[in-house]
Amino acid sequence: MDNPRTNLLDQMRRGEQRNWDIIVIGGGITGAGVLREAARRGYRALLLEQQDYSWGTSSRSSKMVHGGLRYLASGDVKLTKHSLLERERLLAEAPGLVDRITFYFNLTKGLFPGRLAMSFILMIYDFIAGITDHSYHNNKALLERFPGLDVRCLKGASAYTDAMVDDSRLVLRVLQESIADGACALNYTKVDRLLIEHEQVVGAVLDDPQSDCTIELRAPVVINATGAWADRLRNQINPEKRVRPLRGSHLIIARQLMPVNDVLTSLHPDDHRGVYVYPWEGTTVIGTTDLDHSEDLDIEASIAQSEVDYLIHAFNMQFPSSNISEADIISSWAGVRPVIGSEKSKDPSKERRDHAVWSDQGLITVSGGKLTTFRLIALDALKAAHERLPEPQPFSHNRVFSQPTMSAEELVPSNHAWAQRLLGRYGSLAKNLLDEASPTEHQRIGATDFCLAECRWALRHESVLHLDDLLLRRTRLGMVLQDAGAELFPALEKMCMTELGWSKKQWRDELARYQTIWQRFYSLPKK
């Protein structure tokens, strides 16, 4: 994603590039989706993110692109239908980034749903998606997929498919497509306040990241896509509070402790909430929790000790012979979901997951919803802004992702699967990524599918300002390698000096910053 960040900011300081059709505030998947659809329609669109792209919720989800089986079970057919159709669209458009995976739902004796009810739910689920891939597996077959699973209280499992994604890379890929269509995006650029004239929002005032000055930008439409932060920006013109921040946390353990290739869903022994065990980037993940998050949203979310205990207990009840402890945890992550709160539900897990759009005097606020339906959320936001926008230019297709100009077989003839992963994550730029790195940088790192060529590409083209941008979002190496990826530090030091012009002191400062962030927000709570 070539983003000439410095040039754009310089133009703004000189008084150029200050008038836009749409200003999007928020660099998560919703903001990226809005930017994509705005650029497709020919609008002059700018996205502003106060932190790094996907810094908030969109790098900290459970990485699932799913239809929401539990939403169907609770009667929310509309949300399930939209999610399933979008899931199939993403699977078709971005193989290698969004990939189908089998989910096994354990059927616990004496608890709903049983085999018959689950079979009926999955039949409807598949019908809506236009596929047929659900099945039943007895305990013997279940043990073949998940060795060591305690099946004494189980009556087998129902299997179906959904999909997995690297959520942060999804955001970057959508931004890449937006910029290719003429949009602009800036990370680490905070909006100080809305620009209001005659009680109408006519733009935004942003803090200049390199001075104490502010820059006024104008647009007939400002779209507030800040997720969990949405109320804060909207409250500048409307005091209503609608977003309920909910935290979901996860643990990562080494794959060899529990080598799974599929997703196992079980009901937690304490509260019967669904808990997942699944493969991710060469590791195994245990998640998730669902709790009200009352902490300061400007401080990164982190797992609480009670959540650590909750997830370890759930895992050890399922796999008693493994008996993992905190010493086995490689890292953790916690994300804050922006759920539209209701007065009816006190239980966070019972809140609806659909999105909402509000229009207030030129400010369009959108929040809530699911990762899977980001395209539909973006379309609803633009629909709400329609009357304030010029006529859109005609466009020939509604794909989120452009078709790569080469096949996986042409990109890396010796490894089609890895090549497809690169095409999914970078599109046609995957060839440039490999060409700009030495062959030794193509080698995969440890048990992951990441390589140093991706690090070099990110430093050179993807608006990396800090080491944590690289290791926690552009790649996930800091989360899936032992010791926060310390084995890579010597190679990355040289790379950052070459690509970003960092001095040795700047490298040391960035390394200290990264290690502090990792210890506080991606490790375990200090006791």
- What is the arithmetic mean of pLDDT over 72-78? 83
Burial class (CB in 10 A: 0-12, 13-18, 19+), 101: middle
Average pLDDT for the chain = 95
Quote the percentage of the chain above a pLDDT of 90: 92
Task: Name the residue range of residue 447's domain.
Answer: 436-521
Give the dihedral sign, CA 134/139/141/145: positive
Q: Residue 130's pLDDT band (boundaries 50, 70, 90)?
A: very high
Neighbours of 120 (CB within 10 A): 11
| 483 within domain boundaries | yes
Model pLDDT for residues 270-307, shown as the tens digit of each residue: 999 999 999 999 999 999 999 999 999 999 999 999 99
What are φ and ψ of residue 159, in 5° steps? -115, 145
Q: Residue 420's pLDDT band (boundaries 50, 70, 90)?
A: very high
Task: Report the pLDDT value the prediction gives residue 346, as an integer from 0 to 100.
Answer: 65
d(CA 107, CA 155): 5
CATH assignment of the domain containing 333: 3.30.9.10
272, 307, 341: which is the final residue of a domain? 341
341, 374, 402: which is the final residue of a domain? 341
- What is the arithmetic mean of pLDDT over 441-452? 97
Q: Which two tokens stand for residue 517?
A: 């962030």
- SS3 letters for 78-132? HHHHHHHHHHHHHHHHCCCCEEEEEEEEEEECCCCCCHHHHHHHHHHHHHHHCCC
Task: Report the pLDDT value the prediction gives residue 469, as an integer from 0 to 100.
Answer: 98
Q: Are 362 and 200 in contact (CB under 8 A)?
A: yes
| 292 within domain boundaries | yes
| 357 within domain boundaries | yes
d(CA 436, CA 379): 36
| 403 within domain boundaries | no
- Whether residue 366 sits in one domain with residue 231: yes
| 80 within domain boundaries | no
d(CA 317, CA 323): 9
Q: Residue 352's pLDDT band (boundaries 50, 70, 90)?
A: low
- Whether residue 228 sits in one domain with residue 107: no
pTM: 0.96
Q: Is the pLDDT of residue 350 over 70?
A: no
Long-range contact set of residues 450-456: C-beta below 8 Å, sequence gap at least 24: 450/281, 450/475, 450/476, 450/477, 452/488, 452/491, 452/495, 455/488, 455/492, 455/495, 456/495, 456/499
Which residues sit opposite 103 in a β-bridge?
A: 160, 263
What sections of 227-304 are H helices per DSSP? 230-234
- Whether residue 237 sits in one domain with residue 384: yes
- Whether residue 235 sits in one domain with residue 258: no
| 429 within domain boundaries | no
Number of domains in the chain: 3
- Whether residue 189 sits in one domain with residue 47: yes
d(CA 273, CA 494): 46
Task: Report the pLDDT value the prediction gives residue 344, as an integer from 0 to 100.
Answer: 54
| 491 within domain boundaries | yes
- Whether residue 440 sits in one domain with residue 329: no
Q: Residue 345's pLDDT band (boundaries 50, 70, 90)?
A: low
- Whether residue 333 sits in one domain with residue 261: yes
d(CA 234, CA 58): 20
Contacts of 403 (CB under 8 A, 6+ apart): none
- Whether residue 480 sits in one domain with residue 337: no
Rounded alpha-carbon distances, angstroms, from residue 47 to 201, 360, 393, 459 = 16, 19, 20, 20
Q: Residue 402's pLDDT band (boundaries 50, 70, 90)?
A: very high
- Whether residue 333 sits in one domain with residue 254: yes
- Whether residue 126 sits in one domain with residue 114: yes
Q: Is the pLDDT of residue 131 over 70?
A: yes
Residue 100's closest CA among 71, 126, 72? 126
- What is the arithmetic mean of pLDDT over 140-144? 97
| 416 within domain boundaries | no
Residue 382's closest CA among 410, 357, 418? 357
Q: Is the pLDDT of residue 2 over 60?
A: no
Model pLDDT for residues 229-283, shown as the tens digit of each residue: 999 999 999 999 999 999 999 999 999 999 999 999 999 999 999 999 999 999 9
- What is the arithmetic mean of pLDDT over 494-505? 98
CATH assignment of the domain containing 195: 3.50.50.60
- Name the CA dihedral angle for 427, 428, 431, 432, rounded to a multiple of 10 degrees: -100
What are φ and ψ of residue 230, in 5° steps? -60, -40
- Whether residue 53 sits in one domain with residue 159: no
- Whether residue 356 sits in one domain with residue 291: no
